[in-house]
């Protein structure tokens, strides 16, 4: 089945093209500590061997940039870097990579005397000087607070408006070599915001993904149904499947993306029952170099096993790997856990309940889950 794709611009990223009718590029992210060069290279090669067109790694410090330079020297894969909160690293990162991702929701943290436009101009100049593309990566857990205020807390409108604002800033700077992503852990929101964005900017290549989709099989199903809805409409130029799986199994993300795209192209759509998404929902991040303790994946698996008894309950539990996105991205969940180096932060909604050792947090989680179930039944 030939699917008419949106007429997006063609963006050159290292050895590949994103958009402009090029095949949909498949990408993933290394989950290892960037400064552990051997482990990161092993992860990059594992993803490359699985067929990744592009691999992203996270960089948070000057030491990470030094490691990045070494990694770049030892691999020919098209490489992208996640700048997250530290946008000023763009200048030192750009010489080593083909694409940089920045998050519009993180630009307000530093240098409050500078405008958003000045910060974006700084990133774009660094990219331009080093033949680099950009991704404007908007994320549900860290939406620009100005946009949330302007749209009175309407997340979907705020996410889209933030992306549009950054496209306009980059266009105004004469920098057109960028793609956009609008991610959420709720696959229905991913579909809604990407459709809204594509209606307004059909020319801008889109990177699709359901963030914190979680563990297989649920994480795969959420991603598949979102991609089916979007790709079938011609939306999406590059995709990332995010799964919470052990580092050595990260190739699964690439295999899954390829299989989903192949099925869509062949017209093989998997329907889900109307009740899909009801009951217990566990969202968990795919982990990356920021993960604070390697027990994270195990923790997510233990949370799933422990809470199986509540599978019929409409409760959302979020399990995140670090302090960068953990606090924000657990706010909307009924119960949230995010990893620190030696302890796990446990939240109920936006309220922090405390920090618990990796061996102590599960009984407390069970207590809280039981309490929620009892409260809802007695309501």
Residues that bind ligand SF4 (CB under 6 A): 285-288, 290-291, 320-322, 324-326
**Token duo for residue 238:** 């590059």
Residue closer to ligand SF4 by CB (options 33, 177) is 33
Report d(CA 175, CA 134) in Å as an integer: 9
Least CB distance to ligand SF4 at residue 25 (A): 20
- The answer to whether the CB of 330 falls within 8 A of the CB of 313 is no
Least CB distance to ligand SF4 at residue 275 (A): 28
Least CB distance to ligand SF4 at residue 378 (A): 34
Least CB distance to ligand SF4 at residue 284 (A): 8
Give residues with Cβ within 8 angstroms of 310, minimum separation 6.
280, 369, 373
**Token duo for residue 368:** 């809280």
If phi over 0 gives left and psi between -120 and 50 gives alpha, with beta otherwise, what is residue 21?
left
Q: Which of 97, 99, 95, 102 is nearest to 130 (CA)?
A: 95
Q: Quick one: DSSP state of residue 333?
A: S
Give the pairing type, strands 206-208 and 335-339. Answer: unpaired
Angle at 6 between CA 2 and CA 7, to 5 degrees: 110
Least CB distance to ligand SF4 at residue 338 (A): 7
Which residue number places its CB atom closest to ligand SF4? Answer: 321
Residue closer to ligand SF4 by CB (options 11, 226) is 226
Residue closer to ligand SF4 by CB (options 17, 32) is 32
Residue closer to ligand SF4 by CB (options 17, 139) is 139
- Please return the burial class of 333, using the count of CB atoms within 10 Å of its CB with bins 0-12, 13-18 and 19+: buried
Distances (CA, A) of 71 to 38, 55, 275: 9, 12, 45
Least CB distance to ligand SF4 at residue 73 (A): 24
Q: Quick one: DSSP state of residue 342?
A: S
Residue closer to ligand SF4 by CB (options 229, 284) is 284
Residue closer to ligand SF4 by CB (options 48, 103) is 103
Residue closer to ligand SF4 by CB (options 165, 332) is 332
Least CB distance to ligand SF4 at residue 218 (A): 17
Least CB distance to ligand SF4 at residue 308 (A): 23
Give the pairing type, strands 351-357 and 16-18. Answer: unpaired
Residue closer to ligand SF4 by CB (options 11, 138) is 138
Give the number of other CB atoms < 10 A from CB of residue 74. 12
Report d(CA 171, CA 223) in Å as an integer: 30
């Amino acid at each position: 089945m030939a699917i008419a794709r949106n007429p997006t611009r063609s963006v050159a990223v290292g050895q590949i093209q994103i958009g402009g009718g090029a095949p949909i590029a498949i990408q993933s992210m290394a989950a290892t500590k960037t400064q552990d060069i051997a482990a990161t290279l092993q992860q990059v090669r594992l993803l490359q061997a699985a067929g990744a067109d592009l691999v992203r790694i996270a960089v948070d410090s000057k030491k990470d940039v030094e490691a990045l330079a070494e990694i770049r020297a030892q691999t020919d894969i098209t490489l992208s870097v996640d700048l997250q909160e530290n946008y000023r690293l763009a200048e030192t990162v750009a010489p080593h990579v083909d694409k940089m991702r920045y998050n519009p929701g993180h630009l307000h943290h530093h240098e409050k005397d500078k405008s958003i436009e000045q910060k974006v101009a700084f990133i774009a100049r660094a990219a331009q000087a080093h033949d680099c593309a950009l991704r404007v990566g908007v994320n549900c857990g860290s939406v620009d607070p100005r946009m949330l205020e302007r749209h009175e807390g309407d997340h979907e409108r705020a996410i889209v408006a933030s992306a549009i604002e950054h496209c306009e800033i980059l266009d105004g700077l004469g920098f057109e070599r960028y793609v956009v992503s609008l991610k959420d852990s709720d696959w229905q929101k991913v579909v809604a915001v990407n459709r809204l964005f594509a209606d307004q900017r059909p020319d801008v290549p889109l990177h699709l993904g359901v963030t914190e989709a979680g563990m297989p099989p649920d994480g795969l199903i959420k991603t598949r149904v979102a991609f089916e809805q979007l790709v079938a409409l011609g939306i999406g130029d590059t995709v990332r499947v995010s799964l919470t799986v052990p580092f050595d199994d990260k190739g699964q993300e690439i295999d899954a993306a390829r299989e989903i795209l192949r099925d869509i192209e062949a017209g093989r759509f998997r329907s889900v029952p109307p009740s899909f998404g009801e009951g217990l929902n566990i969202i968990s991040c795919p982990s990356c170099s920021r993960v604070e303790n390697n027990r994270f994946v195990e923790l997510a698996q233990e949370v799933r096993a422990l809470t199986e008894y509540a599978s019929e309950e409409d409760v959302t539990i979020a399990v995140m790997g670090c302090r960068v996105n953990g606090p924000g991205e657990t706010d909307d969940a009924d119960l949230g856990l995010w990893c620190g180096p030696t302890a796990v932060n446990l939240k109920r909604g936006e309220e922090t309940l405390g920090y618990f050792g990796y061996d102590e947090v599960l009984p407390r989680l069970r207590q809280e889950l039981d309490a929620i179930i009892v409260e809802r039944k007695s309501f």
